Chains A and B, each alone.
Chain A
Amino acid sequence: SAVISQKPSRDICQRGTSLTIQCQVDSQVTMMFWYRQQPGQSLTLIATANQGSEATYESGFVIDKFPISRPNLTFSTLTVSNMSPEDSSIYLCSVGVEGGGEQYFGPGTRLTVT
């Protein structure tokens, strides 16, 4: 299994500001993912972040709004830029093996934008 930590665990931010969320894994992984869970909703994939390449964004998500870094095989960051109240969600980091198999999630970052 993989143990994933995220920082911060929660934050309250003013609209128009940006927040960078960190994801740390206790082992080297190829594939890392960032998901969003809006209040009372299911999870939606924002982007896939593989080390050494540009992140791949899903439809409806763009790099200017959600820039991602993946500097090594155990760490990634997601920035939520120019925030609005609609960005209030839980943001979760996930890791997995290529082709499926075990897919683990971090504890999430609970973001409230006022």
Chain B
Amino acid sequence: GEDVEQSLFLSVREGDSSVINCTYTDSSSTYLYWYKQEPGAGLQLLTYIFSNMDMKQDQRLTVLLNKKDKHLSLRIADTQTGDSAIYFCADFHGGKLIFGQGTELSVKP
């Protein structure tokens, strides 16, 4: 079945850029998503990208999609301590979202 993989941890300094990576196996993906989950909270939709796009930018967030390599990344510019959270990549497959394990981003002052 469809699989979505992420690295588990990322640590950056405040003000640096963060890049969170995700790989997926579904060659027929239509949409790919990035969600943010802060401690004790639900999932916040950060951004999503349609599969015919290579890049999407929204303020500090840049999403890059490489369909050939089935690789998705989320770049956060000027990372702040408030960006510390778990970031989930998800693939829309078969009418449902398939989630990665989540990447815990730690931002050090």
Residues of chain A whose beta carbon lies under 8 Å from any beta carbon of chain B = 33, 41-45, 48, 58, 92, 94, 99-108, 110
Q: Residues of A contacting B88 with CB < 8 Å? A: 42-43
Q: Could you tell me the dominant secondary structure of chain A's interface residues? A: strand
Q: Are A103 and B101 in contact (CB under 8 A)?
A: no
Q: Residues of A contacting B31 with CB < 8 Å? A: 100-101
Q: Are A103 and B45 in contact (CB under 8 A)?
A: yes
A-B contact count (CB 8 A): 49
By beta carbon, the residue of chain B nearest A41 is B101
Q: Residues of A contacting B43 with CB < 8 Å? A: 43, 92, 105
* Interface size in chain B (residues, C-beta < 8 A): 22
The stretch from B9-17, B69-77, B89-97 touching chain A is: B89-97
A-B contact pairs, 9 of them (CB 8 A): A42-B88, A42-B99, A42-B100, A43-B88, A44-B99, A45-B96, A92-B43, A99-B30, A102-B45
Q: Could you tell me the dominant secondary structure of chain B's interface residues? A: strand
Residues of chain B whose beta carbon lies under 8 Å from any beta carbon of chain A = 30-31, 33, 35, 40-45, 48, 50, 88, 90, 92, 95-97, 99-102
Q: Residues of B contacting A103 with CB < 8 Å? A: 33, 45, 48, 90, 92, 97
A-B interface, 6 closest residue pairs, ranked by CB to CB distance from nearest: A100-B31, A105-B43, A107-B42, A100-B92, A108-B42, A42-B99
**B48: contacting residue among A41, A42, A102, A110, CB under 8 A:** A102
Known: A42-B100, A43-B99, A102-B48. A92 touches B42 (CB 8 A): yes
With the chains together, A58 CA to B96 CA distance in Å? 10
